[in-house]
Amino acid sequence: MSYLEATNNLYKEAALTPDVGLCCTTNPIWELPGLKIPKIMQEMNYGCGSTVNARDLTNNPKMLYVGVGGGMELLQFSYFNRQKGGVIGVDVVVEMLEASRKNFKEAEVQNDWFKSNFVELKKGDAMNLPVEDNSIDVAAQNCLFNIFKAEDLKKAIAEMYRVLKPHGRLVMSDPTCEQPMNDELRNDDRLRALCLSGSLPIADYVKALTDAGFGTIEIRARKPYRILDPKNYNTDELIYIESIEVAAIKDPMPEDGPCIFTGKAAIYFGDDDYVDDKKGHILLKNQPLAICDKTAGALASLGRDDIFISDSTFHYDGGGCC
Ligand SMILES: C[S@@+](CC[C@H](N)C(=O)[O-])C[C@H]1O[C@@H](n2cnc3c(N)ncnc32)[C@H](O)[C@@H]1O
């Protein structure tokens, strides 16, 4: 059995018998005026963060969600769109599509603004999406891509890139891990399907996105996720897994490389009112400017003693350079 078949089997089981402990998100459930998340959707929250961010969701975006789980985030996305077929949900596991379909019916009972036909469910594979080119404003996946091995991950990201409109956004949440993992863990199909042993270091994860052509990357959050300990897993050392929330934006690739925001800021504290680096960045005195890692490097190379550049906070929420 391939690791993809093992994954399908695991999520078929998780669709038929909801498993509250399957994935562990530390996110509180979004509470918005008039939005009620049915209990069954909360029990089937198999994500590891949130991909729902109000600032991505203005002007009734056409949305795609790959790997639907119990449907919670599709309901949350629908909240911002409220149109027939406004969110396309794709999943390869028929039982998961059926479970989410049932959950949307329950959501309809609990939310007077929601109709099941706001979500169009399609059977399909992340590596071969049943979606037209350049047709989506916001595409999302939560805790699915980390399962994929390198070649499959490349295909899945390329598919998301293909279906997004220019400047469209791919929003994601996935586990990441900065420590090496041994081959036994890496090749354990069940652990991989459980989102425990496929995770990459953040830099590799980001490179997979920029290699596909995404010109802007935002790392919006970084959180503790899980531990693989020697007593319970095939490892000699404790392995710490985090999860990140990331947006990859289909902006053209800048000639000097991608803009990657990891939560750095520059603060000018010199004698003038501002500094203009003549490359499009104006630093007003004592006002932090969010900067991408490329701009951070360029400002640092000026060698000035009146510009402070912060470390990456891995919390970026918009604005700044680029
Ligand atoms: C870890 S769960 C995450 C579910 C949901 N995103 C959430 O946050 O609750 C992974 C989801 O991806 C689906 N899936 C697995 N392999 C897939 C594939 N190759 N293409 C599309 N969906 C897939 C599973 O059926 C399951 O719904």
Separation of 204 CA from ligand 1 center, angstroms?
21
Separation of 239 CA from ligand 1 center, angstroms?
24
| pLDDT tier for residue 24 given thresholds of 50, 70 and 90 | low
| pLDDT tier for residue 40 given thresholds of 50, 70 and 90 | very high
Query: What pLDDT sits at residue 41?
Result: 95
Burial state string for 91-110 with b = 16 or more CB within 10 A and e = fewer than 16: bbbeebbebbebbbebbbee
Q: How far is CA 50 from CA 66, 175, 221, 243, 283, in A?
A: 14, 12, 9, 10, 32
In eight-state DSSP terms, residue 200 is B
Separation of 202 CA from ligand 1 center, angstroms?
21
Query: What pLDDT sits at residue 298?
Result: 95
The backbone region for 34, taken as left when phi is positive above 0, alpha when psi lies in -120 to 50, beta otherwise, is left
Testing ligand 1's pocket by substitution, the residue of 13, 64, 91, 97 carrying the most ligand atoms inside 8 A of its CB is 91
Closest atom of ligand 1 to 93 CA is 25
Q: How far is CA 2 from CA 109, 146, 188, 189, 291, in A?
A: 40, 16, 11, 8, 43
User: Distance (Å, rounded) from C-alpha 234 to C-alpha 182?
Assistant: 8
74-89 per-position pLDDT tens digit: 999 999 999 999 999 9
Closest atom of ligand 1 to 51 CA is 8
Separation of 145 CA from ligand 1 center, angstroms?
9
Is this prediction's pTM over 0.95?
A: yes
Query: What pLDDT sits at residue 25?
Result: 65
Separation of 67 CA from ligand 1 center, angstroms?
3
In this predicted structure, the answer to whether residue 1 has a pLDDT above a threshold of 80 is: yes
- Measured by CA distance, the residue closest to atom 9 of ligand 1 is 46
In eight-state DSSP terms, residue 239 is E
178-233 per-position pLDDT tens digit: 999 999 999 999 999 999 999 999 999 999 999 999 999 999 999 999 999 999 99
In this predicted structure, the answer to whether residue 21 has a pLDDT above a threshold of 90 is: no
Closest atom of ligand 1 to 148 CA is 19
Strand 87-91 to strand 119-123: parallel, antiparallel, or no bridges (unpaired)? parallel
User: Distance (Å, rounded) from C-alpha 225 to C-alpha 238?
Assistant: 13
127-161 per-position pLDDT tens digit: 999 999 999 999 999 999 999 999 999 999 999 99
260-271 per-position pLDDT tens digit: 999 999 999 999
How big is the CA angle at 172 (ends 170 and 173), to the nearest 5 degrees?
Answer: 175
Q: Is residue 30 classed as helix, strand or coil in its secondary structure?
A: coil
- DSSP secondary structure of 116-131: GGGEEEEE-BTTB-SS
User: Distance (Å, rounded) from C-alpha 276 to C-alpha 189?
Assistant: 53
Query: What pLDDT sits at residue 123?
Result: 98
